[in-house]
Every structure is written in C-alpha cells, then in structure tokens.
Amino acid sequence: MAVIWQMGILSLLGYSLDPMNILTPFLIFAIGVSHGVQKISAWIVEKEFGGRTPDDWVKSGVHSIEEIPRRSPMHGSRETIKKLLAPGVIALVSDTIGFLTVLFISIRIIQELAITASIGVAVIILTNLLLLPVLLSWVQLKNPQKYREKLLRKAAESSPLWDFLAGFTEPKRAAWAIAIAILLFGVGMWKAQDMKIGDSEVGVPELRPQARYNLDALLISQRFSLGVDVLTVVAETIPDACTENYNVVEAIDRFAWELSNVDGVQKVITLPKVVKVVNAGWNEGNIKWRILPRDHYVLRQALSSIDTDTGLLNSDCSAMPIMVFTTDHKAETIARIVQRVKELREALHIGDLKLGLEHKVLEEMATEGDVTPEKLNFRLATGNVGVMAATNEDISAAEKPMLALVFGSIIILCLVTYRTVLGTLCIVLPLVVVSTLAEALMAVYGIGLKVNTLPVVALGVGIGVDYGIYIYNKLDIYLKEGFTLREAYYRTLRLTGRAVIFTGFTLAAGVGTWMFSALQFQADMGILLSFIFLANMVAAIVILPALVRWLMMRNRETVVERPKTVET
C-alpha cells in the first residue's frame, strides 16, 4: 500500500521514476516490511498471550492454554501502538533525515531521488505506524487455540540458534565479537580507500561490459583517435582575439599541447591547431608553415575558411572550445585530466614556465596584459566527461557531510529517546562498521561512488538502524524488568530478533535477484543492498548485545535491581 501511494503522490506532484532511482520503491517496500513484521509480532503477543511472550508463560509453569488470558484485537492494537510507536518513529525519522540529506547534493537526479524516498517514508509513517494497527484491530485468527498451542510448543522446545546468539552477551564471547568487529572495521577502512569517486570500469556503467554499446565504444576508442568520451574546456577571451591577439591564440595552443600529453588523453582538437594546418595549406602544404602566424592579416587569412558551425569558435571569437577526447571515463582518468587543466590554468596566469612558453613571449604577455584572467580564462567543462567530472566533484564533496548528518541525526534521536550515551553507542557503532564494510565491498567489486550508488550508502544506514532500534528497545524493556542480560536478550531474540532475521533474509533474497539483471548498475545495487541488509542484521543481533555487555553491564547483571513482575 505504501509503495502504491508513493507512486500516486509522485504522479500528482509531476515526478516520475527513471532507471537511476528505480531502487527507491524497493527501499520503501523494504522499510515497510521491516516495520510491519515488528508490528504484527508485537500484536500477536499482546492479543493472544496477554502481553507476555510464549516463553514467559512456559517458564512460569503454564500447562494449559486456557490459563492464558486472551485479549481483544483492539486491545492488542492499542498496546502495540503504545510500545512500538517510539522506536518506530525514531527509525522512520532517521530514514527520512537520511533521505533528505541527499538534497544537499546539487545534482537534479539525486535530489529527485531524495524527494521520492522522503514521500515514501512519510507514507510508511501513516500506513505502518497507524493504519496497520487499526487494520489488525479487526483481525480474528481462524483457529486461535491451535495457533497458540503451536507457539507454546515451540517456546517449550530448546532452540540451539537462540541459545548460541544469546551467548554473545557473555563477557568472553562478547569480547571476541567486539574484537572481530574492530578488526573488520580496520580492514574495511583500509580497503575503502580504494573506492573510486565515479566510474571504475570502461564503458557505460549502466550496461554490462559485454553489452553491444560498450563493445562498440571500446572498439572505436581502440581503432580511431576520436572516442565517444569528450571533455570540452572553453577558452573564454575578448572579442576578435583569434584574429587580433597572437599571444592569446598561442597560449591556447600551448595549453592544448600540454593537455594532449596527459595520460588518458587520445586527441585534442582546438582552433589554433586547425589554423596551423590551414596556414600550411596556404603555403603549398609545406610542413614548415604549420605554425601560428604572428601577423594578424595572415592569421585572419588562415581563419577565413573556419566557420562557427565547426564548433571551434563562436561568432565573435570570444569563446574557443578545446575538445579533449579521452580513452575512457574512469574516475582516475577524469580526475587526472581535470587536475592538469586546473594546474595549467593557474600556471598560465602566473607566468609559470611549466606551460612551455618562452621567456620573451612571457615578457610580452606580461607587458601587454594579454594573458590575464580578464582577457583569457579556461572554463571547465562540457561534454559527457565534463558532466561526469562536475558530478564526481559534487559527490566527493557531499559524501562525508551527508554521512555525518545521517549518523548525527540518529545519535540525537536515540539520545532524546533513551537518554543514555552508552545505549546510543550500542545502536550506532554496528552501523558504522557495516557502512565502512559496504564502502570496502564497493572497492572490491569495482563499484564506484556515483549518482546511483551514493544514496544507497546513505540510505543503508537508515535501513540498518531499524534493526538496532527495535532490538535495543525490547532488550531495554526486559532489563528494566530485572532479567539478566542473557535472559533478556534470549527473550528479545524469540520475539524481536526473529522478526529481524526474517526481514533481513527476505529482503536480501528479494534484492539479490537483481544480480542477474541485464543492467550493470542494477546488478551492482543487488550486490550492495543484499550485503547491507544481511550485514546490518548480523551486526544488530551479534555486535549490539556484545556492546551492551561491555559498555553498559560490564560489572552488573541487571540495569534495575528489582524482582521480576508477572502479569496476571
């Protein structure tokens, strides 16, 4: 229902889905499933077992289901809202903030993704936190007696899985879990440094390497000097500079020559280079005349046959594009070329000899004031590589602040709700480990940080926090009732932990099918999201209780020392 409403609202607002944010409806579906499973599990306990879990009744010595008081569906819904409204709101508000932080990136498609996802989360707040419990208030189980007998029978049976997981609250095993988490965090930090900002493979990243378009583009790049990737630097100057100012044209030519020697550049085409060829043509093709004429009349003659429709100049020659054809559009190739452009631009304006200009020419330029930012400036950049370069710079600048905002909002919300710094750390630290490992995974599989992966890195934190908040919330309730940490966590696993594990595996299996997609970016999302779902699930059920043991209960067994209460 949430996904359908999300689609309808987007349509009403004039937005649409495109291949880049096709994952957003699935993320909303995943968040909805996560919260829905928690609500239904809590409702069953409240309605069929009077607010106590089947384990509680089994351990209290109940021999017959008639001894267990049943409540009305309305009562179960009311209690579910009371107990899960706070953690549900925290988790969903964290998700919303995680989506909204993406708005700070000044890239239209990412901002649309943020709006799309925020609308979906807003709908989930209505459907899962309010409408789902209301719907459950009318639900009657077909055979409640048989269902309760089944749950009591399962509760009476020993569970090796729950016993094993509850063992992570023991000091020794908890210490090992934390040590392994620290080791994985260190390895993840080291490997995450290899993650590229932008594309890490040759070819269009949306398609697989063996796709027809990528194969053709690769062949063109190998056999021709002009490829399919071009970065255009615009030389902005004064009107009629190409015919009246030799120094400006010479500077542009030197600039283009320097760029042609950068690793990853196939060919550079610019107006001065064509002028040299035309000038030689006016002199019987003699290669010695393949130079820029210093006399402005001869320079004008060489330019007379070059029209504006060639794309090499505008009508008054105040803008002359420098077309740089690259071997590919990998992140390192783009970064290397753009960095060299910035270095040359700076070198030109300060008269640096790195540009290859002679002393005499430099003196003339300085005296005449020809090569100054006001009279000649190199503007970055157009072409598909230029767009990628600008996108990569925005993403690189926004990555750390965005993650800081996401984690900061989660920390503040947890502090306000639970009023404990150590408890907040128990929730947040597993997310930090998983987020770092996700970046390391991207480096291993060659998944660059770009338009369609950056939101996943941020939103994965928002999805993962749901697991931790629900587990910590229930664990905290049992600890305050006086149970030992192991017993409290065992009971948490039987109720909330079961829902977390079910949700993690279900969502990972669903999105894992994307790995077989014909679209490369969708296959990458399948790998990344499957890992995030599973890793956050494992971190929540293993690392979180270990942190509770060593951060909050290192020298004591209970948070509040008082006898356990039994509801009748």
**What is the β-pairing status of strands 265-269 and 376-382?**
unpaired
One domain, residues 364 and 294:
yes
Phi/psi for 519 (5° steps) reads -90, 125
One domain, residues 425 and 328:
no
Which DSSP string do the residues of 442-483 spell out, in sequence order?
HHHTT--BSTTTHHHHHHHHHHHHHHHHHHHHHHHHHHHTT-
CA atoms within 13 A on the CB side of 105: 35
One domain, residues 315 and 463:
no
One domain, residues 8 and 102:
yes
Instruction: Write down which residue in 317, 347, 374 finishes a domain.
Output: 374
Q: How confident is the model at residue 165 (pLDDT cuts 50, 70, 90)?
A: very high
Instruction: Encode pLDDT of 107-162 as tens digits.
Output: 777 778 788 888 888 899 889 888 998 898 888 877 777 777 777 777 777 778 88
Residue 153 CA, chain-centre distance (Å), reads 44
One domain, residues 40 and 157:
yes
Segment 172-182 mean pLDDT: 94
CATH number of residue 421's parent domain: 1.20.1640.10
User: Are 88 and 499 in contact, with CB atoms under 8 Å apart?
Assistant: no
Among 41-55, 160-174, 206-220, 329-343, the range with the most confident prediction by mean pLDDT is 160-174
Element (H, E) at 550: none
Residue with tokens 């269902």: 147
- pLDDT reported for residue 556: 59
Residue 563 falls within a domain, yes or no?
no
One domain, residues 88 and 190:
yes
Query: Three-class SS of residue 394?
Result: helix
Residue 440 falls within a domain, yes or no?
yes
Handedness of CA 426, 429, 433, 434 (dihedral sign): positive
One domain, residues 355 and 400:
no
Strands of the sheet containing 265-269, edge to edge, are 265-269, 319-326, 229-237, 376-382
One domain, residues 93 and 148:
yes
Instruction: Write down which residue in 374, 403, 424 finishes a domain.
Output: 374
Q: Any idea which of 47-56, 164-173, 293-302, 525-534 has the lowest mean pLDDT? A: 47-56
Instruction: Write down which residue in 350, 374, 398 finishes a domain.
Output: 374
Residue 516 falls within a domain, yes or no?
yes
Report how far apart, in Å, the C-alpha atoms of 552 and of each of 121, 483, 563 are.
Answer: 32, 15, 20
CB-neighbour burial class of residue 426 (10 A; exposed 0-12, middle 13-18, buried 19+): buried
One domain, residues 79 and 199:
yes
User: Are 148 and 44 in contact, with CB atoms under 8 Å apart?
Assistant: no
What is the C-alpha to C-alpha distance for residues 292 and 223, in angstroms, rounded to an integer? 30
Instruction: Encode pLDDT of 390-415 as tens digits.
Output: 878 877 877 788 788 888 888 888 88
- pLDDT reported for residue 198: 74
Report how far apart, in Å, the C-alpha atoms of 259 and of each of 194, 268, 399 are.
Answer: 26, 7, 29
One domain, residues 435 and 485:
yes
- pLDDT reported for residue 562: 40
What is the C-alpha to C-alpha distance for residues 544 and 546, in angstroms, rounded to an integer? 5
Report how far apart, in Å, the C-alpha atoms of 504 and of each of 20, 164, 218, 554 are.
Answer: 24, 19, 40, 29
Residue 229 falls within a domain, yes or no?
no
Handedness of CA 534, 535, 540, 542 (dihedral sign): positive
Residue 24 falls within a domain, yes or no?
yes
One domain, residues 321 and 450:
no
The helix, strand and coil proportions of the chain, stated in percent and rounded to the nearest 5, come to 70, 5, 25
Residue with tokens 């942190």: 547
Segment 340-360 mean pLDDT: 61
| Tally of domains in the chain | 2
Q: Any idea which of 73-87, 120-134, 373-387, 504-518 has the lowest mean pLDDT? A: 373-387
224: nearest Cα among 269, 270, 266, 271: 266
- pLDDT reported for residue 367: 45
Q: How confident is the model at residue 529 (pLDDT cuts 50, 70, 90)?
A: confident
Q: Which domain holds residue 293?
A: 239-374
- pLDDT reported for residue 371: 59
Task: Report the predicted TM-score, pTM, of the whole model to 2 decimal places.
Answer: 0.77
What is the C-alpha to C-alpha distance for residues 234 and 283, in angstroms, rounded to an integer? 30
Burial 536-546 (b: 16+ CB within 10 A, else e): bbebbbbbbbb
Instruction: Encode pLDDT of 7-20 as tens digits.
Output: 899 889 888 777 66
Residue 217 falls within a domain, yes or no?
no
One domain, residues 352 and 396:
no
Residue 300 falls within a domain, yes or no?
yes
- pLDDT reported for residue 306: 84
Phi/psi for 266 (5° steps) reads -85, -50
